[in-house]
Amino acid sequence: MPPGLKLAIGPILAQIAEMTRKIKQYDRQIQRMTQTEYAETQPMMTIHGVGHITALTFVLTLGDKTRFGRSRDVGCYLGLRPKRSQSGERDPQLGITKAGNAYLRNLLIECANHILRPHSRDSALRQWGLHLAARGGQQAKSKSVVAVARKLAVLLHHLWTTQEPYIPFYQQAA
């Protein structure tokens, strides 16, 4: 690097290095929290695509696992269900409600994208999402990602309440 450029960019590079160090430190703290204080997140992280941040955010956002009578209600609580606007014979397809915590919803969408990507591990959830995306239509891929995110939220709540290990092909195992 030329000396003049090093004088101009040097402080910025030092700040980037310091921020990288702090990010790694916070990542280690989050990992430690999921292993000690919030050990109930361990079954959630066995799902390929769900990491420490998503599992911890899920537990901390919902707060109490007995809050919902059924695990299916979690998807609605997080705003991952389609809006309804029925009038007479019309029942248009609308976007999701986007109620609830936006950060957790975005994390679940990212996890769903990870699950549905081409070289991801195979599971019943992935096959179901790929089947939805293959049905075609306008925005089939994005709708399948949201549907997988909703199903993932339900699955995470179920694993949290039962503390059972995740089985990728549950129907075949049963």
- What is the value of pTM for the model shown? 0.86
Q: Do residues 126 and 120 touch, judged by C-beta distance below 8 A?
A: yes
Cβ-contact 66, 123 below 8 angstroms: no
Residues 95 and 32 in one domain: no
- On whether both 91 and 28 belong to a single domain, the answer is no
Domain that holds residue 54: 41-173
Query: Are residues 65 and 142 both part of a single domain?
Result: yes
| pLDDT per residue as tens digits for the range 23-66 | 999 999 999 999 999 999 999 999 999 999 999 999 999 999 99
Give residue-wise pLDDT tens across range 63-110. Answer: 999 999 999 999 989 989 877 777 778 777 777 878 889 999 999 999
Of 156, 70, 169, nearest to 105 (Cα)?
Answer: 156
Number of domains present in the structure of the chain:
2
